[in-house]
Structure 1
Amino acid sequence: MARRPSHTRPSIQAVPPEPSSDKENHPTSAGNSKRVQIQAMPSSASRKRQRLSTRGTNSQGSQSQGSRSQPARDKDYYDPDQDEAERRRIRKGLRDLTRDLNDSRSEFMQAGNSGIKSTIEKANELFQGVKQTSDATIDSRLLVSAADLGYKKTAQLVLGDASAGIDVDEFVSKCITFMRQAPADSQSTVPSSTQHRRAARPADDDGEDNGDALNWDWLGRAASFCSNARPSVPGFLLGPLSVQKRTRQQAVRRVRERIDPSRAVAPQDLQDKDLDRQETSNLTTMCGSINGLLAKTQNHGQDTVERQLSALQAEPSDEQLQKVMAENNVADDGGVPLFRFCINPRSFGQSVENLFYVSFLVRDGLIGISVDSRGLPTLHAAKPHAPSEALKKGVQKHQAIFTLDFETWQDLIEAYGIDEFKMASGSVAVFSPVNLTQEVRETVTSLGGNVKYIAALDLEHHIHLTAWKEAYPDAEIIAPEGLWEKRQSNPKTKDPAPFRHVFRKELAGTQKISEEFDAEFETEYVHAHQSRELVFFHKPSRTLIEADLLFNLPAREQYSKTGESATSGILTKIISPLLTANAPATWQKRFVWYALSSSDRKGFTESIRRIDKWDFNRLIPCHGDVIESGAKGVFRTVMEWFLEDRKRT
């Protein structure tokens, strides 16, 4: 969009007019041209009469006059001393025009609106007073914005509503006229612009007499000539440069890797309680907990050994003494064996971490380390000495460095007989006891034989409770309310005495078993379950133990030694897909929602949410295979409706 300035600088030299390329179409009179040339040509006689001095004087005068008028003409374009009030007026006007242009873009884009034109005209008026480069910059910015808006308006009129921008009838009429004026030979060259102008003025031909024949080929050539950007190339370059024989590549098929959904762990949402839990899992807190656990283990083991030895009628031999002390994790120097206390039989990394924590406690003097009669390291609860006291007693600090690799870790587990199901105090807890066969008895004996707790997980899993109680009369029964009354109705299961620990609804969340049991287990009584479920969480191994809260069918592990298939039988084939824990586990969700929790869904939800706060990774169900890893994700998948507080169909 061009704009002509109001002030034009007069040229010093006269520029002769350019000859028109179309002058043959406009005849001129030769006499007139000669007359003009005669008037413009000065007289040769007058030039001769001019004297040299006069010519010099005139030239000097003209130069001085031009030098005097030059500053005046320059100030028409640039004036550094321009009035500030005038500059402010011009700048304000240009900014107002720019603001109006930006605010009224949608109105100016409408067909028939002349806002852009009026804006340019007002800018032209203000431009007459522009004498500074900064003011010219504002004007140029306005001009660019107006030009850009004009381009967009033109594109909108062309591509948008055709009735508002382009007259279709006029366009079709011009196309028809163009095709009717085409030459007979359609292969002729497309006419140039000059030929178009000549053809636009026919002599006296009437287009209507030419008939209805339209040369579409002529129109197509004219339309495609300007848009064809393909370069002309020789014919031999149109084919491939070389011919290669294509060989088919054999695709290598690989077996698709299937991810076991039972091992998937869903992401855990962090809440305020979780942040508080992180505060309690720092180094200082962990070391303090380990120190307290060592003191309890040492005191409990020593008390148990003294009680068992005092119960003997005769003086115990050295072998009996060592056996009793080994069963209760007590060394002959009164301490706790280092490796029995630190080794985790299911995690090599956890074992190394436990030794790491113990080393800090030994360094701070909170735990003492010594050697028993067999040369094995033992741990003792101690109190740190003050620096002055340690100096008087001559206490010195020593360092012991040893390595622990995976093979040594396995050898220590086998040599010490460390088992995860055995409590730190040496007691054995049995959950939902199975048939007490000879093989089961031998397994219990290998664990020390000190069965102290037998737990019936609900009202259904209690069939073999009588046989276990007779074999281990000192064991304490843990059961939900109503089970003892149910067993009294059957002579085969009638118990001589009430159970020691009975979980009741009104005491939910407050009941305790014993100090040693509660130190390793968390208990949740799901009283809203149809079978009144007891769920236990073994904290050292991060294992969840339950009976009928969650199913993981088919039970391949339980059928592995029977010679039968875990999926054989019509009823099994029907039930197994319905009670599988594999995601999305829709049928098991419905079973838990409509069947197990139907009596008290609110209480069931509260219990599930308390269980979800436990940090378990392994799950042992009574029905189905053990979930060795990722149990938290499986639990959240099955109990999704209770954890999200809404039911999905």
Structure 2
Amino acid sequence: MSSQGSPRKEGLAYDPDQDPEEKREIRRNYRSLHKTIDDPHVDHTAVELETKVERANELFQNVKNPQEATLDSAFLVKTATINSRKARGLKFGTGVFDVDNFITKLTAFMGGYRPPEDAASDNSDVEEDDAPLEWAKIGRRALAKSRRVPAMGYMLGPLSLPQKQRAPHKPREKFEKNKKDETRPQELREEDIQRSENETTKNVAAVAAVLESVEKINLFKLVTNPASFAQSVENIFYLSFLVRDAKVAFETSEDTGEPVVFACEPPSDEDRAEAVLLKRQMILEFDVATWKRAIEVFDIREPFIPTRARAGTRLGKQWYG
């Protein structure tokens, strides 16, 4: 296949500047090869498969990009699968080797058994005794195929190995645990677990009370706690409930461009029915770097929302934060 467009780069396994028309032509040829072997009802001969692989090798000479190389790999996988299936289905001669038939013919060859047709042709009424097998006859025939001298060691084979004696069965000893070493789990009673009130509801109400004391406030000055990054994130979480319930409004100041929040009256049911209210969602990214930057830019020294005590749960005689 001749290449088109700009000349190819010799010796380059990957060429991102390969001519697009040339790549399309390579893909078309590979897809044609795939169609010829995709039909499961067609029995491909070994010669046909070899011809197709040689054709794929010719196409691979112009492959310079991963997409075309993938088509080549997929074609080789399909070809190998068909070859493997054909190899498993091969039969030599009449099929599986028949041991009984082989022994019967071998015995007849050494004179120890006569086929029924030979016995029928014998007019003698006297039954002959079983003659010994002529092993020398089969030995002369085997000698024509091999010059190797037989040795006695090969005749013994695995029978010369001493038989392993099985150890007498011993009953397994029952493992008894030392009850002194056992540690009983701590028992908890109903009065040991102190159920705390809903912290989220209480903290949302606290943030609402703080906002009622001011007209408008910078968002970062409100939520940032300079002593605790975790509580700053919690303040944003509690504030989001108030914004969702339309109890707090968020806007950008026209004078300074700062984000500000302020308390407001939520719309009544009549206002909701008369006006078409659209819900808007906002994602506020607040990481440690933003927290430190807010403290520096807005010179936050004290938290506007008071620092909350760390909550804990008592289980038995121990406290867990």
Interval of TM-score (by shorter of Structure 1 and Structure 2): 0.3 to 0.5
> Higher Cα Rg: structure 1 or 2?
1
The TM-score with structure 1 as length reference comes to 0.18
